[in-house]
Structure 1
Amino acid sequence: MSVDNYESTPMSEPFNPGPDAVEIVEREACFRGFYRLDRLHLRHRQFSGEMGPVLSRELFMRHDAVCVLPYDPQRDEVVLIEQFRVGAMEKGAHPWLLELVAGLIDTDEVPEAVAHREAREEADLELTSLWPITQYFPSPGGSDEHVYLYLGRCSSLGAGGVHGLAEEGEDIRVHVWPFEDALQAVKDGRINNAASIIALQWLALNRAEVRGLWG
């Protein structure tokens, strides 16, 4: 079909299933530790309007997380951290990943407070402003984790070294990169985790506005 003859299909309205769209038949507690794992037997309303069959799904439950990309708008530099990640041990070149400053939300914390706390603990940085980027579910097919993603204004002058909480076994190395180098690392696959990719691509799209307001 040629472009000239192409007719777009009108977008349908989003599915609005209602408050009774999911029925949990049974919920089993499979594991309780730092994280939790449940097995749910449930059924949900289908696009036809009918209830579907009973499904069995494991749900990995964890605290919501905050990720923040520290950015120096005057020097046009980002601060990244590097640390060992067990989840990348068998599926990557090596399990030391370049990432954003990040941490889990305790029950009595707001996301902004977590961003400031983790910047101090993981990178020895003081953030002077936070710019909300987005909120998202990184793996909703099997986990209820919800991520709050921020850009954090900082001074990258003198940033570096190894940081983290010894009592938590953290061994975190801090890197200061020109923004363009970090964006290139996304393009060539050296930065290969979701929060970092999303934040750096967002900054690529909004850098002029950020530097205008923060610079």
Structure 2
Amino acid sequence: MNETFKPGPEAVEIVERESCFRGFYRLDRLRLRHRLFAGGMGPQISRELFVRHDAVCVLPYDPQRDAVVLIEQFRVGAMDKAANPWLLELVAGLIDTDEEPEQVAHREAEEEAGLQLGALWPITGYFPSPGGSDEFVHLYIGRCDSQGAGGVHGLAEEGEDIRVHVWPLEDALQAVKDGRINNAASIIALQWLALNRAEVRGLWV
């Protein structure tokens, strides 16, 4: 390995970038070369890139009841690969304006779950599928009062039909183990909360 090689944007040469599709999302085709760990530039390669807005996901947590609020909705991406394409998920939304991630978290909690969130606890930020998408996810725990939460929510003009569930945290963790909760953001947030529950409740109760 070439010890002088330092990975970074300057180690990539974009030969050509072509827009293949433009809608709410975008698909680009890139021809590029990048430096190799062994030294020198590699061969030209072609990659399709799904260009998305960054996303915000938040797990509403009621520290008094040790309960979480999850939403359930149809997901077209799961239709051909899951027995049930209605997934249990976090409250989530895209940053498609000049809003800050925290503003999106509060807004989406109201729209999708009828919840007013209190404090937000940042968990992490991550790329869910960097091999073919540039989407970046901002992940939070949001303090809430789950009493009275439930029902069906969502914006009709966006085709949303979202059912709200309030579960004891232990039940949600068991659903992760059982595979009933099978999407990355939910698994990451719930496992993080399981590891940090005492600290979170110590500050929020």
The answer to whether the aligner puts 1:94 opposite 2:84 as a matched pair is: yes
* 2:122 alignment counterpart: 132
The match for 1:74 is 64
1:92-125: per-residue Cα shift (whole Å, max 9, x none)?
A: 0111000000000023110000000000000000
C-alpha distance in 2 between matches for 1:103 and 1:190: 22
TM-score, structure 1 normalization: 0.92
Paired positions, count: 202
One-letter identity of the residue aligned with 1:145: E
Q: Deviations for 1:136-189, whole angstroms, at most 9, x for unmatched residues?
A: 000000000000000000000000000000000100000000000000000010
Letter of the structure 2 residue corresponding to residue 140 of structure 1: P
CA distance in 2: counterparts of 1:21 and 1:109, whole angstroms: 32
1:158 and 2:148 correspond: yes
2:23 maps to what in 1? Answer: 33
When Rg is computed on C-alpha atoms for both structures, the one with the higher figure is 1
Q: Percent identity?
A: 86
Structure 2 distance, partners of 1:18, 1:169, is 40
Structure 1, unpaired ranges of 5+: 1-12
Q: Does 1:119 align with 2:109?
A: yes
Q: Which residue pairs with 2:46 in the alignment? A: 56
Letter in structure 1 aligned against 2:33: R
Q: What SS does the corresponding residue of 1:20 show, helix, strand or coil?
A: helix
Question: Over aligned residues, Cα RMSD in angstroms?
Answer: 1.0
**1:119-198 matched pairs, under 5 angstroms:** 119-198=109-188
